[in-house]
Amino acid sequence: MGSNFSLESSAAQAGTLLREIFSSLQPGFKIRLWDQNEVHLGQEAGPVTVVIPSVRVFKKLLMNPTSAAFGQAYCDGEIDLVGDLFDVMKVADSIDELNISYWEKLKIGLRLKRILG
């Protein structure tokens, strides 16, 4: 029971981190985490949902939160994308506009380590 609580708590903290990283996106989207909870991101949550089935994939994506990383994870079968292809492309374009600096990525990595081990 303790490990389930730990994963649920980690998912809640992961949701907070996601909101901080992607809060400015327009159009927004949703991420469904490994515990099935959906996190609404951006200005308005649009019709696109990214399904991330594991903590490992979540860490991998957030260490380099770019549309290329999400696209590669989709092609590798590590995530699923729910929504119209054109809506997905709009979200990808808005992710690329984030321009997350090296130092911000480093801070994200440290928080991921603290949250998820």
> Which helix (H) or strand (E) covers residue 116, if one does?
helix 102-116
Min mean pLDDT across 4-8, 9-13, 68-72, 102-106 is at 4-8
Is the alpha carbon torsion for 92, 95, 99, 100 positive or negative?
negative
Is the pLDDT score of 5 beyond 70? no
- What residue ranges do the domains of the chain occupy? 2-116
- 100, 65 Cβ separation under 8 angstroms: yes
Is the alpha carbon torsion for 8, 14, 16, 22 positive or negative?
negative
- Condensed to tens digits (0 to 9), the pLDDT of residues 29-73 reads 999 999 999 999 988 878 999 999 999 999 999 988 999 999 999
